[in-house]
Amino acid sequence: MKQTEKILCPVCQVQFVFREEKQIGKKIVCPVCGAVLVLSKENDNWQADRPKDMTPEAEIRERIENFARFRGYKFNQMKEPLVEGLLKKYSRFGDFYCPCKIDNIPENVCPCLETRQGSVEKNGRCHCGLFWK
């Protein structure tokens, strides 16, 4: 039984090791970006997909809460307008692209690559002011 195989996060595209017991349909959280994912199995390989039973709002709220908790970041009064901006991007462009960035590319899906790579530590906040040190 291989319990240490890696799982690819479809949100941040990072492979992470998942050591807990794997079950089809089990909800897990990407340790890198905080995305809520659902385990499935295809041709004997475990994979993770974005949940289909969550509203976009529940999905992005859980993701940013998880990410902030992992990193010890805080939110402030800018949070709600930015969550609204993320939901607008989702309904217009199909994913949670950063509301403050023009390019709707995978690197800008919240939490964006820049933020995942430590811009909050450097600047005290992420580009748009959702995450604060």
Q: Whole-number minimum distance, CB 111 to Zn ion, in Å?
A: 9
**Complex with Zn ion: residue 82 or 110, whichever CB lies closer:** 110
- 3-state SS, one letter per residue, for the chain: CCCCCEEECCCCCCEEECCCCCCCCCEEECCCCCCEEEEEEECCEEEEECCCCCCHHHHHHHHHHHHHHHHCCECCCCHHHHHHHHHHHHHHHCCCECCCCCCCCHHHECCCHHHHCCHHHHHCECCCCCCEC
Q: Whole-number minimum distance, CB 45 to Zn ion, in Å?
A: 18
**Complex with Zn ion: residue 1 or 47, whichever CB lies closer:** 47
Q: Whole-number minimum distance, CB 97 to Zn ion, in Å?
A: 15
**Complex with Zn ion: residue 9 or 86, whichever CB lies closer:** 9
Residues engaged in binding Zn ion (CB under 5 A): 9, 11-12, 30, 32-33, 35
